[in-house]
Amino acid sequence: MIDIKVPVVGESISEVTLLKWTKANGAWVERDEVIAELESEKATFEINAEKAGILKHGAAEGDTVKIGDVVCQIDETAAKPEDVAPVKEEKKEAAPAPKAETTAPVAALSNDVKASPVAAAIIADKKVDVTSIKPSGTGGKILKDDVLQALSNPGKVAFNGSGIGSRNVRKEKMSNLRKTISPRLVESKNTTAMLTTFNEVDMGRIMETRTKYKDKFKEIHGVNLGFMSFFAKACAIALSEWPALNAYIDSDEIVYHDYADISIAVSTPRGLTVPVMRNVESMSMADVEKKVVELAGKARDNKLTMEELTGGTFTITNGGVFGSLMSTPIINLPQSAILGMHKIQERPMVVNGQVVVRPMMYVALSYDHRIIDGRESVSFLVRVKELLENPELLLFGKDPVKTLLEV
């Protein structure tokens, strides 16, 4: 009998939560097959079978287990049951079949909306707002009766798991990630002298650059040219000029960093994660975009490693993806500053004595006033604004087109 123990996942982490078993108790498992998913205070990770054999659970889903605890056992001496289907057969069925059936019906809907063919047809014909529909099918799938229920109650919305007029109250256990986020946010507010300064950026030049070169950029690099590369590069340059915003307090010392490891806030179903891009000052625009896609994908799939979640020197968060026009972001400890991006909105602006409509974005910089003075914070944000409104300055005097498209 082999004991499978909870592995060490970080120096400061002493316990994790068993999210789910991917193999049932008493099931046959192959060597290296994923048998469970665990969640620490910063990320989720998988446990693999060390040997082939019969799995015996040692904890239930939702249990908190300590590092080094035996979470399950594998009886490697047991004979493989004859009725165990080959793993390959399961994978063959799971891959192509659902795509053929589910892609077509929801083609007219958003890609993340699942609906039966009849339900999808009614939604399209009656132009039903899918947010008003409470799905009852497996995996959140919208069925015909769900759509008819929404049509019979126009203007009325039922909360998740409840009917119209319900007074239901639910309690759910906080995830380890959420339990970690909560005290850290309070600590940030209580232990820093946090202030926020604002400015606004005319995004016209960047939008023109993206429109002009986005197809060629994607053809060469295989990734879209987004806004994050412009903001990350602008912040890296500004951080080199105003180093206090790239530092943090350690006891009675200030620790400065001669590099820009920029954290990017990524929202996931389990909470906010902040993976880190290393040495942004040395990255190209394409490098940044590729790293953003990589880290965001890992965050959504719960595949981020501890190394990818620690060590940032500055953070960028984008509330604009959710429609936020303005906010005051909270500092990501132990860092001393964070930049908040927001929604781009056309507004009338006075340019050269003329009122013109320009695509504007409010930007917010929250900073720790204990080590960052008003002059430094405002100057940093003004510098970021200058770089964004003149994107050729981000390319260090090189030919803009060649630099943007360089491999």
Percent over 90 (pLDDT), the chain: 49
- Residue 28 pLDDT grade (very low, low, confident, very high; cuts 50, 70, 90): very high
Asked which of 11-20, 214-223, 294-303 is least confident by mean pLDDT, the reply is 11-20
What CA dihedral angle connects 270, 272, 278 and 284, to 10 degrees? 100
pLDDT of 163 strictly over 60:
yes
Q: Residue 100 has what pLDDT?
A: 39
Q: Residue 121 has what pLDDT?
A: 83
183-242 pLDDT, tens digit per residue, is 888 999 999 999 999 999 999 999 999 998 889 999 999 999 999 999 999 999 999 999
Distance, in Å, from the CA atom of 36 to the CA atom of 50, rounded to the nearest integer, reads 12
Distance, in Å, from the CA atom of 247 to the CA atom of 119, rounded to the nearest integer, reads 54
pLDDT of 377 strictly over 80:
yes
Q: Residue 74: how many CB atoms within 10 A of its CB?
A: 22
Q: Is 221 assigned a catalytic role?
A: no
DSSP string, 331-383: P-TT-SEEEEE---EEEEEEETTEEEEEEEEEEEEEEETTT--HHHHHHHHHH
105-141 pLDDT, tens digit per residue, is 333 466 567 888 888 888 888 788 887 787 888 767 8
Question: What is the pairing mode between strands 314-318 and 337-341?
Answer: parallel
Domains and CATH numbers, the chain: 2-84 (2.40.50.100), 93-152 (no CATH), 177-405 (3.30.559.10)
- Which of these, 326, 327, 338, lies nearest to 264 by C-alpha position? 338
Q: Residue 98 has what pLDDT?
A: 42
- Which of these, 245, 190, 200, 191, lies nearest to 373 by C-alpha position? 245
Q: Residue 261 has what pLDDT?
A: 97
Q: Is 258 assigned a catalytic role?
A: no
Determine the average pLDDT of the residues in 290-315.
89
Which among 32, 129, 258, 373 is annotated as catalytic? 373
Which among 32, 145, 301, 369 is annotated as catalytic? 369
- Residue 104 pLDDT grade (very low, low, confident, very high; cuts 50, 70, 90): very low
Q: Residue 162: how many CB atoms within 10 A of its CB?
A: 13
Q: 133 burial class (0-12, 13-18, 19+ CB within 10 angstroms)?
A: buried
Greater model confidence, 10 or 381 = 381
DSSP string, 9-57: --TT--EEEEEEESS-TT-EE-TT-EEEEEE-SS-EEEEE-SSSEEEEE
Q: Residue 80 has what pLDDT?
A: 85
